[in-house]
Structure 1
């Protein structure tokens, strides 16, 4: 790429001359001498090899070519100002990137509400969202791969702030054989049908939570895959109640009633990987998250 021969200051002087309508007007506006303005414009024209102004009396009238140059100059100056603003916001403590790890139990609408509010107050920080299961979520705090962690468990050595409740229960498609029994079920009856289980997202260890020992097991790595298999009548699965409200409302899924078992009530926590090193964006996101979580009520 050819190195520019025109400085941002020259483009800015050019813009001001156009706006003020004369070299003297630009000199007064910029608190410079008229000769310095004339020199800057002459050098600009020499470097570009085009004529930008025509003198009409005391007025400097921009040429057609100058008008085209002005459009590009405006964009260039705005980009430069934007870069300086971005640098200023970063120097004020707004981090370029915020990493957030959430459990798949976390209500999607609650997260969306927080993002809407965050976007209104911060335009410079990107957010890298990750979703995990079981120990894969808490590992993000233990090994520092995320700045903020939303988990149903607090990792050893960390403190957590309670956000909101979550409930888990076992569901099947309304036409699944287990649903058609229409009565409380025994664990033995559940084990005779395929169980859909979400795998642990940790690459270092594997926790086998919720496995009943069914004769057939379908293992998936996220909530959507588990829900999809349940909808296809391929088995029963433990699912977060808050994330299947539509399917429950339209009767597509039904909750299994199991002898001596009830819904599993959990609490979701906000865990900081290192609160002392968290930037302005991270603190803002955490604040909004806690505010919105106070308004969240689980639909039982």
Structure 2
């Protein structure tokens, strides 16, 4: 039985991550020639090319694309195995790549990371903020926080807390256009859309009744925060999570409508790649985020004054 060339697989993963042979060579402390030979050795063993090479561009072949995920997992698990063998002091060192939604990342995650880094000075965190859904395996993230109703996947997911969603508008808009009492009436209004949540707005109401409406209006954005100024200016109605509109509901700049009709529940989830073998530093951050993002979701995200809801 011929053993796999684990060094070549790890070097292949480095070339994919750094998108060049020279970048990978610098990252792993080898010569460019050694990196090139390792990839060529792996290609010869597999009997297929892994990269398209030109003088200006390096791109994965159709065969190389799915193998890149295997290479990342091999490298990640080998790294985790080595770190698990070290003593606890040296294990809490190195870089963690974390992805989080933009607004929630700024308001709730970034302050926690400051505390975590103060407690673990040997750890570095690369925080990527985006409301777009990232492929955490393909893009090399150790952890991703995602606010959604998650579909089935091979990722490991832990639900940290629920997030309430509000249908909100300004008092001035409702004074001019009236307050909808049923979701179907939203079809007569200007609705501000969040482009990362496609499809109609769905609701569940009294007695299990269901309704839906398609958002049509003057503004669509891929950031919920970007909708707030137009919402306050009275340009329409929006469906947004409490951590974005909560302060504006509490101040009276906005009011929540349709109190008897609720959008489908969504939650804050912590996702990791499929492998259960992770570096100690990653396990430490997972435990920290899980402990600190459970209760704040109920207490901080939704500081909403219920009597401010519009009843007509």
Q: TM-score, normalised by structure 1?
A: 0.57
Displacement of 1:186? 4.1
Aligned to 2:109: 111
Per-residue CA distance 1:225-272 (angstroms, 9 max, x = gap) = 0222212222211111133222111110111217x7224432221111
Alpha-carbon separation, structure 2, partners of 1:236 and 1:223: 12
Alpha-carbon separation, structure 1, partners of 2:93 and 2:264: 38
Aligned to 2:119: 121
Counterpart contact for 2:105–2:129, Cα < 8 Å? no
Per-residue CA distance 1:30-85 (angstroms, 9 max, x = gap) = xxxxxxxxxxxxxxxxxxxxxxxxxxxxxxxxxxxxxxxxxxxxxxxxxxxxxxxx
Aligned to 1:191: 187
Displacement of 1:209? 3.8
Aligned to 1:53: none
Displacement of 1:177? 3.4
Asked if residue 149 in structure 1 is aligned to residue 144 in structure 2, the reply is: yes
Q: TM-score, normalised by structure 2?
A: 0.55
Aligned to 2:245: 244
Displacement of 1:164? 1.3
Alpha-carbon separation, structure 1, partners of 2:280 and 2:198: 37
User: Of residues 208, 213, 217 in structure 1, which corresponds to 2:198?
Assistant: 208
**Count of matched residue positions in the alignment of Structure 1 and Structure 2:** 202
Counterpart contact for 2:224–2:244, Cα < 8 Å? no
Which structure: larger Rg? 1
Cα RMSD after superposing both structures: 3.3
Alpha-carbon separation, structure 2, partners of 1:108 and 1:165: 19
Displacement of 1:108? 5.4
User: Of residues 169, 172, 175 in structure 2, which corresponds to 1:172?
Assistant: 169
Per-residue CA distance 1:181-213 (angstroms, 9 max, x = gap) = 2461442x322332222223xxxxxx6144533
Counterpart contact for 1:101–1:150, Cα < 8 Å? yes
Alpha-carbon separation, structure 2, partners of 1:155 and 1:217: 34
How does 1:1-300 map onto structure 2 within 5 Å? 92-94=90-92, 96-103=94-101, 106=104, 109-133=107-131, 136-137=132-133, 139-141=134-136, 143-151=138-146, 152=148, 153=150, 156-177=153-174, 181-182=178-179, 184-187=181-184, 189-200=185-196, 208-210=198-200, 212-257=213-258, 261-276=261-276, 278-298=278-298, 299=302
Q: Which ranges of structure 1 fall in alignment gaps of 5 or more residues? A: 1-87, 201-206
Aligned to 1:83: none
Alpha-carbon separation, structure 2, partners of 1:157 and 1:143: 13
Displacement of 1:174? 1.7
Displacement of 1:283? 1.8
Displacement of 1:180? 6.0
Q: Which ranges of structure 2 fall in alignment gaps of 5 or more residues? A: 1-85, 202-212, 305-312
Alpha-carbon separation, structure 2, partners of 1:232 and 1:96: 46
